[in-house]
Each structure stands twice: as structure tokens, then as C-alpha cells.
Amino acid sequence: MSAGLRPTFAMALSLGAAGGAVFTLIGMPLSWMLGAMTVTGVASVLKLPVRGWSKARPPMSAVIGTMLGSQFGPHTLQSAAQWWPALLGLAGYLLVAATLSNIYLRRVVALDRPTAFFSAMPGGLIDMVLMGAEKGGDERTIALMHSSRIFLVVLSLPPLMTLITGADVGGQSAAWRPLANMAIGDVLWFLGALAAGATFGKLARLPAPFLIGPMLASMAVHWSGVSGFVVPSAVIAVAQVVLGTTVGCRFAGISTQRILHILLTSAGATAILLSVAVVFAFALQFVLDVPIEGVLLAFAPGGLAEMSLVALALNLEVSFVVVSHICRIGMVILGAQLFLVFKDSRNR
């Protein structure tokens, strides 16, 4: 079934869409992503015939990247000059949060050193799994820890924002943009940026090529002024459903006891990461012209695609969130490599 849509993924996608629709009807924030993620996560625990599909994420990442690029414009460069305190704060946040999370996983959970280290680092799932395996860590545990972290961050972030900042997250949703508002010319520019960006991303071997490549292409289109296409809300909803479904299905095929153990373990590490993010967000709000909700989202230890979609859905400063998370991933990879080189040199 590799050439077509897998029945187990079709089942998961149907459940995800139904979950998103229910969450939308009851007025939940980030309803399409949270609904899809929650329902498919529960389906995985209940051992229903649902599975993720690796071929679904690249094209959806390209769609998301193109959407993100449309949020950048000439004003971004002017704003970015004011963001340097956030990037310095981000480095400090990663150092403090990863250290505390590592101590928790080593001393409380009793994971072995490499597994704990790469599970604690709030970086990209694939990067951390590959680097952890190279150093003798448990690949499956690292993958499940990061999958659980993303799941828990996306699930807890909207209510956390409301609790900490008092913001009405449900009322911050972006205005609905009908599909009919997108002219034929805009559709062609959208598809062209998507295809060209994905191709460039792969050829240039960019990190997350299907997301960053189309994002750069879409930025170029908007900066040049040849098109100012705005992605319709229905497309964003589909992106949320697919992404939420793939996150929820990461627990498929794993025993219920193992899932609950990983979720409980990850909840502790995620609580540490989010608590430190809240502290840094409150401190940085005084030196940044960005709402505290945007600062918190930029520091939240979720995935780049997931956090970017949250920013889009909540009508926050998308470019700031995207730049922060790209820098986070780069800092984590570089920091992990430097730390390991230092450790290896001391052990010789």
C-alpha cells in the first residue's frame, strides 16, 4: 500500500477531522489541531487500527512553509533588528531548561546518560534521535520522549497562556479567510512557491527542507511584490488536521503501559521546560515589542511546524515565532555537539 493512501492512515485522518470538527463546534482554541491530535492519540492508546504515514508530512510541511513565508514582508527586517534580546534570552533559556530537564531524567527517572541527555534537549526529533543513537542512547525512548513533549506542549499551551497571561486565547483566532478570496493568479504563485521551495530545500540540503525551502520561496514572492497571496483558512485547517493526526499517531503500535509511562515521564520534563519558558517570557516582555503570548510561544519547547501553526491560528507574530524556533533548533544541535566534544575530550 506504499503507493497510495494507507487504510490505517485514512482511518486516522477521518477520526482526526471528526475530532477537529467537534472541538471547533464547542469553541476550543486551536480546535482542528488539538481535536485531531487528541482523538487519534486516544485511538492509538485504545489500539484502534490507526497509523501515521511518513509520506503525508513532507507535502504538508511544504504547505505550512509556504503559509509561513506569506507572513514575512519588508517590515520583518525592521522588526527583526529589535529581536536580539530574545535570541540572547533563548540561548540562556536552552542552557537552563535543558540542564534541569537532564538532571530530572537522570536522577529521578534514572535514564542512562546519553538517553537522558538527548531526551532533555528541546531540539528536532529526528536530529536528537540520530545524535543520541550515535552516542549509544535508546533511540525508541528518545523518539517517544520528544513525540510526547510535542503532544503535551501543543495540548497544554492554550490553557497555560490563558492561566499565565489572562489572554482570551479562544478569542484571538485569526479572521476567517474564504477560499473564494484567493484569485487564480494567487493560487498559481502559491503552488509555484511550494514546488520551487521544496525542490530548492532538497537540493540545498536545508534542515527541514520541505518546510524551510517553501518558506524562503514564499518570502521571496511576497518581498518582491509579485504576489501578496493569503492562504485561505480552510487550507490552514487541513494542515492542522494532518499535523495533529501525525502527532497523535506516533503512539500507535506501542503498548498502553509503555505509552502511559512515557507520557508521565515526559510530563515532568515538559513541565520543567515550560516553567523555565514562562520565567524567560515574563522577563523579556519588558525589552521586546511583542505580546507576552508571542514571547511564550517563541520559547515553548514544541516543534517548529506545530508552534508556527499555533501562532497562525492565534493571530500572533508569526515571523518572530518562526525565527525563534529556527534559532532554537540550530542552537540545540550546535550546543549538543559542542557539549559532546567537550565530554569526549575529558574522558580521553
146 versus 206: the higher-pLDDT residue is 146
248-285 pLDDT, tens digit per residue, is 998 888 888 898 899 999 999 999 999 999 999 999 98
φ, ψ dihedrals at 135, nearest 5°: -95, 10
Are 157 and 142 in contact by the 8 Å Cβ rule? The answer is no
How buried is 139 (Cβ within 10 angstroms: 0-12 exposed, 13-18 middle, 19+ buried)? Answer: middle
Are 69 and 218 in contact by the 8 Å Cβ rule? The answer is yes
- Does any domain span residue 324? yes
What pLDDT was estimated at residue 3? 46
**CA 42 → CA 37, 55, 78, distances in Å?**
9, 22, 44
CA dihedral angle for residue 138, residue 142, residue 148, residue 151, rounded to 10 degrees:
-150
Looking at residue 22, the DSSP 8-state letter turns out to be H
- Does any domain span residue 171? yes
- Does any domain span residue 194? no
Are 321 and 67 in contact by the 8 Å Cβ rule? The answer is no
- Does any domain span residue 289? yes
181-196 pLDDT, tens digit per residue, is 888 999 999 999 999 9
Using alpha carbons only, give the angle 285, 66, 223 rounded to the nearest 5 degrees.
Answer: 75
**CA 213 → CA 63, 188, 272, 338, distances in Å?**
11, 17, 33, 27
121-130 pLDDT, tens digit per residue, is 998 777 788 7
In whole angstroms, what is the distance from residue 143 CA to residue 298 CA? 22
Residue 249: partners with Cβ closer than 8 Å, 6 or more residues away:
9, 12, 40, 44, 50, 51, 52
- Average pLDDT across the chain, whole number: 86
**Helix, strand or coil, per DSSP, at residue 196:** helix
94-142 pLDDT, tens digit per residue, is 999 999 999 999 999 999 999 999 999 998 777 788 788 888 889 889 9
280-322 pLDDT, tens digit per residue, is 999 998 888 888 888 999 999 988 878 887 887 777 778 888 8
**CA 121 → CA 196, 217, 284, distances in Å?**
32, 30, 22
What pLDDT was estimated at residue 20? 93
18-77 pLDDT, tens digit per residue, is 999 999 898 777 788 889 999 999 999 898 999 988 888 888 888 888 988 888 877 776
**Helix, strand or coil, per DSSP, at residue 118:** helix
CA-closest candidate to residue 66, choices 213, 187, 214, 186: 214
- Does any domain span residue 64? no
Residue 7: partners with Cβ closer than 8 Å, 6 or more residues away:
1, 49
In whole angstroms, what is the distance from residue 40 CA to residue 23 CA? 13
- Does any domain span residue 26? no
In whole angstroms, what is the distance from residue 299 CA to residue 276 CA? 9
Which range marks the domain in which residue 284 is found? Answer: 82-182+255-347
In whole angstroms, what is the distance from residue 158 CA to residue 160 CA? 5
Looking at residue 175, the DSSP 8-state letter turns out to be P
Are 305 and 236 in contact by the 8 Å Cβ rule? The answer is no
- Does any domain span residue 222? no
Are 64 and 271 in contact by the 8 Å Cβ rule? The answer is no
The yes-or-no verdict on residue 173 having pLDDT over 60 is no
| Residue labelled with grid coordinates 478569542 | 171
Q: Where are the beta strands (DSSP E) in 156-282?
A: none
CA-closest candidate to residue 257, choices 245, 248, 265: 265
pTM: 0.80
| Total count of domains within the chain | 1
- Does any domain span residue 187? no
Helices marked H in 225-317 — which ranges?
A: 233-248, 256-284, 292-299, 304-313
